[in-house]
Structure 1
Amino acid sequence: MVTHVRAEAQGDERGALLSFLAEQRGGIRRAVLGLTEEQAAGKPSASELSLAGLLKHVAEVEQGWIARAKGEPPAVKRDESNWHECFRLTGDESVESQLAYWEKVAAETEAFVRSVPTLDDTFALPNDPWFPPDERVSMRWVVLHLIRETARHAGHADIIRESLDGASAWDLVAKEQGTSWG
């Protein structure tokens, strides 16, 4: 990603992890900056991914993992019949509503991560075939997993956005800051 994380300013491991997660969220948020709903829903590459769909997906994934870590069910239940719906906006969903939802999810993530007694606390992974049976992971693991998941999709978002209108991640950082680069 093209921004700098000042982890030392946070003063602790939790702050550093949350800062890196926020940085990756920013890459996806910037990728939809200035786009119409139609552009954000566009699929300009061989992939079926759109920026709007990535935005919805990362918000749902983050909420779901934090819910699991809390011992709660995810807000949205996905299974074989509806998993694909997390990659496209439906009904009255919009980029704006998804950004607002993700902002709420991010605040809940930060509050939860800061509230756990230790990042070494664990919870059970879901009983899904791609996870080892009876595996437990730490709170640290879940934040690192969210960083990895969000970063992966931030990279996809960079490519999709550049394919839509030529705007690079560097261009979008400058646009967000009201400056130019280069």
Structure 2
Amino acid sequence: MVTHVRAEAQGDERGALLSFVEEQRGGIRRAVLGLTEEQARTRPSASELSLGGLLKHVVEVEQTWIARAKGEPPAVKRDESNWHECFQLLDGETVASQLAYWEEVAAGTEAFIRAVPSLDDTFPLPNDPWFPPDERVSMRWVMLHLIRETARHAGHADILRESLDGKTAFELVALAQAG
């Protein structure tokens, strides 16, 4: 597991925000630690969620929000026809490939947030029906949103992992530190 946030920069606001999102990323990374691809694709509850799909979703969400903040289109355009695919590992997608992609996305997030002139700078929300029309949000807002989104799904990941093999977050932290 690579932690992108430099320890000496955690005292400033940008460093703090980046540290909090990295901490939540770690919860999801640990949830898939040591799983087979079959286990990562298993849906151990009444939900459609699998750990592999959840991993893919958080990676895609982070990439999409940072692209929006940059004024760029997301890597994958989602609409009603393909929304379900952001929660599924498709053919050719693996936990390892998603983790590697997340490393790239996370490094891009850090570089962008460290380079933006001000966390008060804003960008427009997309013209989607679930967002207020003509709304703008700040870079600070996007980081807080990523923390919230990643933390929410890290909690889901804890439950899914424990449902698969009984391993709790404490056991997974110990496993990650041993490896």
Query: Alignment RMSD, CA only?
Result: 1.6
In the alignment, which residue of structure 1 is the partner of 2:20?
20
CA distance in 2, matches of 1:63, 1:15: 19
Structure 1 residues 100-179: aligned runs within 5 Å: 100-178=100-178
Letter in 2 for 1:19: S
Describe the SS at the equivalent of 2:67: helix
Which digits, 9 at most, give the CA deviation of each residue in 1:124-171, with x for residues without a partner?
Answer: 001111111000000000000000000000000000000000000111
Question: Percent identity between the aligned chains?
Answer: 83
Letter in 2 for 1:30: R
How many residue pairs end up in the alignment? 175
Shift of residue 91 of structure 1?
1.9
Shift of residue 11 of structure 1?
2.0
In the alignment, which residue of structure 1 is the partner of 2:65?
65
In the alignment, which residue of structure 2 is the partner of 1:89?
89
TM-score of the aligned structures, taking structure 2 as reference length: 0.94
Shift of residue 13 of structure 1?
0.1
CA distance in 2, matches of 1:9, 1:73: 30
Letter in 2 for 1:18: L
Letter in 2 for 1:170: F
Alpha-carbon contact 1:119-1:139 (below 8 Å) kept: yes
CA distance in 2, matches of 1:76, 1:8: 34
Can you give the 5+ residue segments of structure 2 that lack an aligned partner in the other structure?
1-5
Q: Structure 1 residue runs of 4+, over 6 Å off?
A: none
Shift of residue 8 of structure 1?
8.0
